[in-house]
Homo-oligomer: A and B are copies of this chain.
Amino acid sequence: MQMKSTLSLEKAGEHMRRKMANLRDIAAEQMRDLRMLTRDRVEVGAGRYIAKEGTRCGVVYLVESGWVFRSRTMSAGQRQIINYAIAGDLLCADSVMFGASGFDLIARTPVSLFRIDVPTHAALIERYRGLAASLAWTAGQEESVLAERVVSLGRRDSLQKLAHALCELSERLSVIGKMSVDIIEAPLNQEDFADLLGISVIHVNRTFRKLSEENIAEYRKGRIELLDRKRLAEIAVFNRAYLHFE
């Protein structure tokens, strides 16, 4: 690996660690493991698959930059986005345990990844405790995020769903220093929001309009301005605890 890559790995690792505030004690170990096991950097073009549903995977990636969707496409063609990954997130964290991915991983933008060659689970626990801890943290946090997503999809109406998603985006981008004041810069078009929230594109549009009519948030081509975060959080009944940041 060249210098430039190494520096970027440090940065991605830093993003990762900033989320995992409650793992501070093994941060150094974690970083050492990352350096040890990171083989190469992978660039993936926008729209390309990183993993396909049902495919064996057996590798973990650390996102350096770009956006990745984990999604399922139904036989009738509808898509459900399960989660999105951004800088500092791990992909396929569960492949250590299960080998195969149950869902598609698709690059939404050009993506830069560090490939981490994870050894067997036993070796991982024995020799790479820092990474083992990160993987466990990631699995736990992702589970928590998905639980909140289940609540959203099951029991919030479209306005609350959208408001909640915007609050979450804002928090997750903040942690990696990608939140310019009150502007969410995300490569999500309205169709992406539809597939994340489990509603139709047209309804996403109308819901955004509702937010904009009330001067709460404004959608402009993958750039969302939050005009009134307080009301947004009220609508969503947002409680950031489930993200387990800090």
Contact = CB atoms under 8 A, between A and B. Distances in A.
A144 interface: yes
Interface stretch (A6-14, A38-46, A121-129, A211-219): A121-129
Nearest to A147: B82
Contacts of A195: 154
Bin chain A's interface residue count: 35 or more
Interface in A91-147: 93-94, 96-100, 102-103, 121-122, 125-126, 129, 132-133, 135-137, 139-144, 146-147
A147 to B, nearest CB: 5
A28 interface: no
A244 B141 CA distance: 20
A50 B81 CA distance: 32
A84 interface: no
A145 to B, nearest CB: 9
A149 to B, nearest CB: 5
A10 to B, nearest CB: 24
Given A154-B80, A198-B154, A26 B122 contact: yes
Say whether chain A's binding surface is mostly helix, strand, loop, or mixed: helix
Interface in A35-83: 54, 70, 72, 74-75, 78-80, 82-83
Contacts of A151: 72, 74, 80, 82
Given A26-B122, A147-B82, A153-B154, A241 B102 contact: yes
Interface of A: 22, 25-26, 54, 70, 72, 74-75, 78-80, 82-83, 93-94, 96-100, 102-103, 121-122, 125-126, 129, 132-133, 135-137, 139-144, 146-151, 153-156, 195, 197-198, 237, 241-242, 244
Given A80-B151, A96-B136, A153-B153, 19 more contacts: A22-B97, A25-B122, A54-B241, A70-B147, A72-B155, A82-B151, A83-B147, A97-B140, A97-B141, A100-B241, A102-B147, A121-B136, A139-B140, A139-B143, A142-B143, A143-B143, A153-B154, A153-B198, A155-B198
